Amino acid sequence: MGDDCRVRSLQFLPLLCLAAGLFYASLASAAATPAEYPDRTGHTVTLHLSAQGTGALNIACPTSAQVLRLRVDRGELVSGVALQRLSTRPAVHRREVLTGPFTGGTLQLPLPAPRAGELADSRCRMLVQGRQGARLTLSVFEWQPVTLLTRLRGMWSDWTGYRPWQQYSINAHAAVVQTWHGLSPNVLLGVTFLLVGLVGFRRWRARFLLGWMLACWLVLDLPWQWRLLQQAEATRAVFAGVAAERRPGFTEDAALWAFAEQVRTRLPAVEARFFVASASDYAGMRMAYYLYPRNVYWRRDGPELPPGDALRGGDYVVVVQPSELRREPQSGDLVLERVQARVLLDVGVIALFEVH
Amino acid sequence: MDWLRLAIALFLPLLVGVQWVARLIPASPARPWLVAGYGLFAGLMFWPLLLRLWSACGLPLGFWPPLGVAVLLLVALRWWPQTAFPTDQRVAQSRASPAIRLLCGVLLALLCLRMLSLTAEVIWRPLFPWDATMHWATKARTWFEWQRLVPFVSNEEWLRLGGQGVFTDHHPDYPVTIPLWQYWLATALARWDPALINLPWLVCYSSLGMAFYGQARAAAASSVEALVFTFFLLTLPLLNTHVALAGYADLFLATAFGLALMALHNGSVGGQRWQWPLLAFSALSCLLIKNEGFFWMLTLLPGLWVARRRDARRVLLAIAGIAVVVPLVLWLFPADIAVAGHSLYSLDLGYRPGALSGILKSLLVLGNWHMSLWYLVLLVALAVWQRPGVLVAAGPLVTALCAAFLLFLWLFTVTEFAIGAIRQTAVGRIGLHLIPGVVFLLLVMHGQLRKSALRPVSPDPAA
């Protein structure tokens, strides 16, 4: 009897082995990098940006937080790059966007570590934004662990890299903008300044302090001066030689300005009232500015248009997308309470209507 | 021809300011810098006042008629007697070593390079930052087209009047000094030039630097020290940005308040009574630039109170008094009464978490002010340790700046404007108003530390 039981149990052994083998094979396949996310270390890759100026590159990546160092041949055409780790659980892809242009050609892209409780995923995707249709050659693809030295190199690259003027520039100047390295030259230099300053003051008094302060100041100021020179050169390259009244046509407001110029040509009289409507504060505000010296109404943080009885015949409405105002699907006229507004000019994202 | 008209439009009004200030300042090593700095700023403030008066009298605006008045004023000032203040007799300082002269040369070269970079941005880049096109240049553009100062009203008032004879933008109640300069230069050019209308920002930047250097010398700093601290001031990144991306009024308010603080300090030191008219004009200029200038002007009052008798206890009492009065006012003042465009009701009082860390980030972590606030931290620590007599020597300046900082702190921690600290959208710009005064305080504290190190040690009476 005992021998029969042993024989029966041994019959299940191959099945158990098969099950175990399948189980371990599934684990191995989950850990192995799928073919569509190849290891690109040391390789050279050509990336074509789409008509919208975007491109993506799949890449195998380490399971820990690292920095990807790579070279791009035409970094001045790249306006933004991000490296994101695809997450198995939860389905949230984290990334830090680095803004260009990258005139030096070398990029250091941070790769975040998996979150606590998250399975380490070795699939990553590099997202690139730049000039439409551009052809970029990416090379080197070197992974570096996030050590203090890597952070310092990242901080240096961030600090000394060129950044064009942004709308937030008038509110704050940040010596560094990337968060992955977690360092600030102002804090590092400030702490060093305090420690050395205290010691030096005890020995050499106030004159040392001023000299030491000047030295630290110059360390912070020279990169800033360099960036100002680069930005001045970029400004000159765009605007010098262009007639002053046409310069807005070479900025990010070009479409708004061009539309205002069409309105100026089509409706030369300045007495009429213009209502600017947009769900975007920036778009509405800039459209209103380019329409001055006309009698323009635009309201920030409020309804896009005043109540219907505020509008009357002879008024004009300029709608800048995004907007929540509705249009007749066939005629394209604006749907308003109590009044009709017929479309006069429509360039897609901006339209001019005349109120009847 | 355009450039000639532009030059005349810019320099003739400024020359009126320079001539007026020259009547106030006696001979001293600092005189040329003070006359240039305060004079240019006086011209920047005076000219829009003249245009407003001209318009209020019903006279047609234009280019040549107001300039005719400027010429008459220049002639009148030429014959105006010099104010009889005693000459400032200061001992000439010894010649600096070659190394120091080389350092000064390098700093001056860097300042020239800075000026060049900023000038390139101003003359080429059209209006760029947000507020510049939201409520400053809107008025200038409209006045230039209509060639009269048509009124701007609120959105509601505009709707009520049907837009008849009135215009509107997001801040119709803001002072008109800035847009009047933009209107004036557009009139000089006879076209709307969205870049050249911002030349006054370069003038303001230059006037701040020259006035600072002059006041530093008047505060008994050596020429090298004065140059170094002027370098610190003129190379502050956020201040530079406000020149490069011209169109905001914050640079002008920073200059007005800074010039007032410097005049307050040097006027209270003794023997510089001629500083008081400079203080008065700079303080009143704060009202002509932005609504919050009213509050900065008020912070000069505790400084003036301390100036009557400078001792450390009076300074500490004034600061403690402000620290108590501000929350009391916020608690007791009627919520619906508006002061300088704001009511307590609209401020939505309540502590905002995250605001303090936003303020610290703006002052110490971001690159707005380079090393300035780190230097202040060190100097305050040394002042507490060494006791060099800063409170006595700079009591009025310390009191006014502390009052201003307390207001700044309250604004960005317990009002709706705390969002400006959390998101870094306003705390830097408002901090800019205080920073010239802070850099001047650094100079004064440094000077006191230096003097305290040179004081002879009293012999031990027990020996």
> Across the interface, do A293 and B144 touch by the CB < 8 Å criterion?
yes
**Is the per-residue pLDDT at A169 higher than 60?**
yes
Measure in Å the smallest separation between the Cα of B106 and chain A Cα atoms: 11
DSSP letter for B191, please.
Answer: S
Residues 45-64 on A with a CB inside 8 Å of B are none
Q: How far is the alpha carbon of A349 from chain B, nearest alpha carbon, in Å?
A: 21
Of these ranges, A144-148, A297-301, B240-244, the one predicted with the greatest mean pLDDT is: B240-244
Measured CA to CA, the distance from residue B35 to residue B207 in angstroms comes to 10
Q: Quick one: pLDDT at residue B157? A: 95
Task: Count other Cβ atoms within 10 Å, centred on residue A322.
Answer: 10
Residue A159 confidence class, pLDDT cut points 50, 70, 90: very high
E-assigned strand segments in B370-454: none
Distance CA B426, CA B318 (A): 28
Mean of the pLDDT values across residues B42-62? 95
Provide the pLDDT for residue A30. Answer: 46
Closest C-alpha among A284, A274, A255, A257 to residue A347: A255
The C-alpha R_g of chain B, in whole angstroms, comes to 23
* Residue B158 confidence (pLDDT) above 90: yes
What separation, in Å, do the N-terminal and C-terminal C-alpha atoms of chain B show?
81
Convert the pLDDT of each residue in B298-347 to its tens digit. 999 999 999 887 677 888 888 888 888 877 877 777 766 666 666 666 67
Q: Is the pLDDT of residue B123 over 70?
A: yes
Q: Are B272 and B88 in contact (CB under 8 A)?
A: yes
Q: Do A174 and B375 touch (CB under 8 A)?
A: no
CA dihedral A148, A151, A157, A158 (to 10 degrees): -140
Using a CB-CB cut-off of 8 Å, the residues of chain A touching B167 are 295-296
| Residue ranges per structural domain of chain B | 287-454
CB contact burial B188-224 (16+ within 10 A = b; e otherwise): bbeebbbbbbbbbbbbbbbbbbbbbbbbbbbbbbbbb
Q: Do A184 and B170 count as a contact with CB atoms less than 8 A apart?
A: no
The pLDDT of residue A141 is 86
Residue B462 pLDDT: 45
CA dist A90 and A88 (Å) reads: 6
Give B419's contacts (C-beta < 8 A, 6+ positions apart). B352, B425, B426
Q: Which residues of A touch B146 (CB under 8 A)?
A: 293
- The minimal CB distance from A213 to the residues B130, B158, B375 is found for B375
pLDDT, average across residues A227-251: 95
Is A59 in a helix, a strand, or coil? Answer: strand
Measure CB to CB from residue B238 to each of A173, A239, A292 and give the nearest one: A173
Task: Identify the residue with better confidence: B463 or A279.
Answer: A279
Lowest-confidence pick of A202-211, B147-156, B195-204: A202-211
Say whether residue B363 is in contact with chain A using an 8 A CB cutoff.
Answer: no
* Cβ-nearest to B370 among A206, A221, A292: A221
**Which of A89-98, B19-28, B140-149 comes out lowest in average pLDDT?**
A89-98
Q: What is the spatial distance between Cα B299 and Cα B280, in angstroms, rounded to a whole number?
A: 13
CA dihedral B193, B197, B198, B199 (to 10 degrees): 110
What end-to-end distance do the CA atoms of chain A give, in Å? 103
SS3 B165: coil
Give the global pTM. Answer: 0.90
Angle made by CA atoms B69, B71, B74, in degrees to the nearest 5 = 110
Cβ-nearest to A247 among B130, B195, B449: B195
